[in-house]
Amino acid sequence: MTSPVEEDEVLERIRGMVGNGIEAFGLRDDAAVLDLPSGGPLVASVDSVVEGLHFELALCSPADVGWKALMGALSDLAAMGATPFAALVALCVPDGSGEGELALEVMAGVAEASVAAGCPVVGGDVSGSAVLMVAVTVLGTVDPSAGPAVSRTGARPDDQVLLTGPCGGSAAGLRALRSGTGSGQAYRRPLARLREGRIARLSGAHAMIDISDGLALDLHRLADASRVGFRLDEVPAAEGATLDEALGGGEDYELLIALSGSSATTLIDHFEREGLRVPACIGTVVSDPELRLLGDGPLERLGWQHRLG
Amino acid sequence: MTSPVEEDEVLERIRGMVGNGIEAFGLRDDAAVLDLPSGGPLVASVDSVVEGLHFELALCSPADVGWKALMGALSDLAAMGATPFAALVALCVPDGSGEGELALEVMAGVAEASVAAGCPVVGGDVSGSAVLMVAVTVLGTVDPSAGPAVSRTGARPDDQVLLTGPCGGSAAGLRALRSGTGSGQAYRRPLARLREGRIARLSGAHAMIDISDGLALDLHRLADASRVGFRLDEVPAAEGATLDEALGGGEDYELLIALSGSSATTLIDHFEREGLRVPACIGTVVSDPELRLLGDGPLERLGWQHRLG
């Protein structure tokens, strides 16, 4: 049980939690003032997670929710090859008892992820709500001397399709949590592949996307945006994950990378030098946009897409 | 009645609505890529509005909600003297029938406000939820040749306190809507004082804050941040607003500006040249942080502050 506290007091405690030495007076003022860390363009994205839709508090802690909200947003920067420098967090906590504490617990997870990813939280907003909701905006930049941000749109015929890690771990983790047979680490504490995305950009990646809604759906999206097709040879499944989970589970935050064979060699060398897991080549890009194959059959658009009635 | 549509389709329609020629591939990709419009620092803020807490759909349209969400966020940039160049919108729409249409109606209001304020929407996210919620992140910049962004913290003893317009109009508008006696224009369609904030910065303002939670509370916050007190001589109330509404109503988005007498003269000249409403001088800053007066009595911390239980 906690006593009611004013919003200003909660914000003051959050400031202490995410204070990180950045030269911004954002958390104390109306807005944050920041210097761009490079002469390159600004890369910005927003992502939100909602109780009952993206998570249930019976299966993960408020800190897990905060961690996932920031990592999920950062994954969009990873997919552009961008390096994050700031995040802003809009937090809505359910009315009733204990929401001041709940806000602080969520922000503790945000702060942990912020440290892990090297991305300070520079602004925020706390409101009441019917359900817990966290919307995170992340700001990054790319070093302009090493090529532009990587889009979804640039995949070319004969490109190789690399995947930074096996998929389905998040869905399998959620299943394990539901059945009480595991800790669901991959579900509760995913990692944005920021170093991997940056190296892919430096290696000359033509197109990238992160696996947020499922390998199959996100690969289709990359192919749609690039007006190409693909032949998928294999689907690396995470330990304990089914093929359906690997294809359609989502929230794995691995990166799909389309690039030439010679760039793939450069990339793999660079990953090895940095001690990162070597990505698997799981298929190739083809020019016919209608051709979307897994082995010999069509690949369905499996994956998580919210239906708006 | 509408048929269910996929999230990707709603996003495609939103893209058409907010398309505005900015050189960003954000709404089509994972993240937006933007050039900063000046060599100055980046100014960033996030603000959210939640159904049942900040608005009721019985009293305003979904487009009004979208308009207010963007203008409320932009007001934080106005209070720093910053000029906006991009917004990102996280939209959560209630599950059930019609939320695809609801999302589009909210975004129509966001797009209207975006045009009115000259701030393009470059990124977004749509989710389901139990209640309608809109979180808006705004990005702006300040021209570094004309001084830094204005903080809450710089008010000095003997500064004049200016207010860009009368307060309480939003609260009075809400009251009129509830009693069916008015259109509630000031409540439904507030304006962020972006030009006014910029001119105040150029005129040498020491400190600024926007009236988002109520004149009294926001003036106390400015005084707290600046470690000063104040004597408030008058409280300009909007037409039809009570003194309580003017002091504690909130969401007026007028600017409180603390600055020297000579800067105030410069500011008023500049406002007149630009055809803007001339701000009222409503009080003075004093050195004793304990002294917080309205006329001869203490000014209570009236205003809208969410209590977190």
Contact yes or no for A139/A87 (Cβ under 8 A)? yes
Q: Do A153 and B33 touch (CB under 8 A)?
A: no
User: C-alpha dihedral over A205, A206, A209, A210, to 10 degrees?
Assistant: -10
Phi, psi at B267, each rounded to 5°:
-60, -45
What's the CATH number of domain B150-298, 3.30.1330.40, 3.30.70.270, 3.90.650.10, 3.40.50.720? 3.90.650.10
Q: Do B31 and A45 touch (CB under 8 A)?
A: yes
Give the tens place of pLDDT for each residue, B6-22: 666 766 777 666 654 33
- The pLDDT assigned to B55 comes to 87
- Shortest distance between the Cα of A8 and any Cα of chain B, in A, equals 8
Q: Give the CA count within 13 Å in the CB-facing half-sphere of B151.
A: 17
- The pLDDT assigned to A146 comes to 79
Question: Is some CB atom of chain A closer than 8 A to the CB atom of B5?
Answer: yes
Q: Do A80 and B31 touch (CB under 8 A)?
A: yes
What is the mean pLDDT of the segment spanning B174-198?
95
Confidence of residue B305 (pLDDT cuts 50, 70, 90): low
Confidence of residue B33 (pLDDT cuts 50, 70, 90): confident
B79-88, B92-101, B117-126: range with lowest mean pLDDT: B92-101
| b/e map B127-157, b = 16+ CB within 10 Å | bbbbbbbbbbbbbbbbbeeeeebbbbbbbee
Which two structure tokens, joined as six digits, stand for A9? 């007091």
Q: Kindly tell me if the per-residue pLDDT of B2 is higher than 60.
A: no
Confidence of residue A290 (pLDDT cuts 50, 70, 90): very high
Give CA–CA dist A91/B47, Å, rounded. 9
- The pLDDT assigned to A278 comes to 96
DSSP, collapsed to helix, strand or coil, labels residue B159 as coil
Task: List chain B residues with CB under 8 Å of A90.
Answer: 46-48, 90, 135, 137
Q: Kindly tell me if the per-residue pLDDT of A28 is higher than 90.
A: no
Q: Kindly tell me if the per-residue pLDDT of A135 is higher than 80.
A: yes
Q: Which of B27, B29, B51 to mutate to test binding with chain A, by most A CBs within 10 Å of its CB?
A: B29
Domain B7-144 belongs to what architecture? 2-Layer Sandwich (3.30)
Give CA–CA dist A257/A267, Å, rounded. 10
Angle between helices A261-273 and A194-202 in degrees, nearest 10:
130
The domain ranges of chain A are 7-143, 150-298
Q: Do B33 and A80 touch (CB under 8 A)?
A: yes
Residues of chain B numbered 147-176 and touching chain A (CB < 8 Å): 148-149, 151-153
What is the mean pLDDT of the segment spanning B244-257?
95
Contact yes or no for A51/B58 (Cβ under 8 A)? no
Q: Do A127 and B95 touch (CB under 8 A)?
A: no
Q: Distance from CA of residue A185 to its chain's centroid?
A: 15
Cα dist from B206 to A77, B110, B120, B155, B257, whole Å: 36, 32, 29, 5, 8
Give CA–CA dist B308/B114, Å, rounded. 32
Task: List chain B residues with CB under 8 Å of A140.
Answer: 31
**Percent of chain A at pLDDT above 90?**
70
Contact yes or no for B111/B124 (Cβ under 8 A)? no
Amino acid at B254: E
The DSSP letter of residue B293 is E
- A24 or A54: which carries more pLDDT confidence? A54
Task: List chain B residues with CB under 8 Å of A131.
Answer: 129-131
Phi, psi at A267, each rounded to 5°:
-60, -45
Q: Which of A12, A13, A30, A106 to mutate to test binding with chain B, by most B CBs within 10 Å of its CB?
A: A30
Phi, psi at B196, each rounded to 5°:
-60, -45
Which two structure tokens, joined as six digits, stand for B184? 């509630």
Closest to B302 in 3D by CA, of B225, B221, B248? B248
Give the tens place of pLDDT for each residue, A76-124: 999 999 999 999 999 999 877 566 788 889 999 999 999 999 998 888 8
- The pLDDT assigned to A207 comes to 97
Shortest CB distance from A137 goes to which of B49, B54, B137? B137
Q: Kindly tell me if the per-residue pLDDT of B100 is higher than 90.
A: no
Give the tens place of pLDDT for each residue, A183-194: 999 999 999 999
**Percent of chain B at pLDDT above 70?**
88
User: C-alpha dihedral over B219, B225, B231, B236, to 10 degrees?
Assistant: -20
Q: Do A122 and B44 touch (CB under 8 A)?
A: yes
Residues of chain A numbered 210-229 and touching chain B (CB < 8 Å): 210, 221, 225
Q: Kindly tell me if the per-residue pLDDT of A232 is higher than 80.
A: yes
Give CA–CA dist B75/A227, Å, rounded. 41
User: Scanning every residue of chain B, which has its alpha carbon at the shortest distance from the alpha carbon of A84?
Assistant: B31
Residues of chain A numbered 84-143 and touching chain B (CB < 8 Å): 86, 88-90, 92-93, 95-100, 103, 122-131, 133, 135, 137-140
What is the mean pLDDT of the segment spanning B166-192?
95
Task: List chain B residues with CB under 8 Å of A139.
Answer: 42, 44, 139
Confidence of residue A127 (pLDDT cuts 50, 70, 90): confident
Confidence of residue A31 (pLDDT cuts 50, 70, 90): confident
- The pLDDT assigned to A15 comes to 67
Residue partners of B214: CB distance under 8 A and separation at least 6: B167, B247, B248, B249, B250, B302, B303, B304
Residues of chain A numbered 34-53 and touching chain B (CB < 8 Å): 34-36, 41-53
ipTM confidence: 0.88
Shortest CB distance from B309 goes to which of A80, A99, A309? A99
Domain A7-143 belongs to what architecture? 2-Layer Sandwich (3.30)
